[in-house]
Amino acid sequence: MNTIQIADKKFELLMENETINKRIRLIGIQLNVDYEDRCPVFIGVLNGSFIFMGDLLKEIEVPCEVEFIKVSSYRGTESIGTIKEVIGLPENLGNRDVIIVEDIVDTGITIKHIIDQVYLQKPASVKVCSLLYKPAALRAPVEELQYTGFEIPNDFVVGYGLDYNGLGRNLKEIYRAIL
Ligand code: IMP
């Protein structure tokens, strides 16, 4: 279906599942090369990254650890700009290669907050892997954002882990809000 309704909003198809999965396979190949002979810690940012994290980790062939953190910063389609940690970071990141896995980097406020917290533990390296990235919404450059699936316009999107008021995370495809 190309147009769907979630609560009070209409959305149109932006990305097929096969397009997403092809891109994830390529990111996996890149990570396997970049982290050869290392043992990175992947930290998924809940809730939005849960599907991306699962599909991405199936492509990873280097030894690795998997952790999750949970932050909440959004209400509906608008950023409220404050970040609440619901599940905190693991405490053993000293000297580790950390890869933070996000569903989307929008303003960059959430990821910047998480990156700053990770650095406090003196890791060996910190990189961010985000499925989606809205360059037009980014408030300040995020140097650590080295792996991105797709750059998308500054529209609100749902599906493949991303929600609208808690709904739509289960959709296989990614949809964007129709104004
Ligand atoms: P940022 O702090 O503005 O970069 O926003 C990051 C978080 O906001 C993401 O992890 C998502 O949970 C949420 N978010 C940002 N843009 C969207 C969107 O278009 N759809 C659904 N959630 C979004």
Evaluate the omega torsion of the peptide bond into residue 47 and state whether it is cis, within 30 degrees of 0: yes
Q: Read off the pLDDT of residues 115-148 as tens digits, 9 standing for 90 and up.
A: 999 999 999 999 999 999 999 999 999 999 999 9
Structure tokens that stand for 48 in this block:
């939005």
> What per-residue confidence (pLDDT) applies to 84?
77
Candidate from 78, 106, 170 with most ligand 1 atoms within 8 A of CB, to mutate? 106
Domains and CATH numbers, the chain: 19-177 (3.40.50.2020)
Catalytic residue (choose from 106, 116, 155, 163): 106
Please work out whether the CB of residue 109 comes within 6 Å of at least one atom of ligand 1: yes
Distance CA 58, CA 160 (A): 16
Give dist(CA 112, CA 96) in Å, integer: 19
> 150 CB less than 6 Å from ligand 1?
no
pLDDT of residue 82: 73
Is the CB of 49 within 6 Å of ligand 1? no
pLDDT at 77 over 70: no
Q: Give the contacts of 37 (CB within 8 A, at least 6 positions apart).
A: 62
pLDDT of residue 74: 55
CB of 84 within 8 A of CB of 71? Answer: yes
Q: Is the CB of 14 under 6 A from ligand 1?
A: no
Say what the pTM is. 0.94
pLDDT given at position 179:
77
Nearest CA residue ID for atom 3, ligand 1: 107
pLDDT digits (tens, 9 = 90+) for 89-115: 999 999 999 999 999 999 999 999 999
Asked if residue 177 lies in contact with residue 10, where contact means CB atoms within 8 angstroms, the answer is yes
Positive or negative torsion for Cα 152, 161, 33, 120: positive
Catalytic annotation present for 37:
no
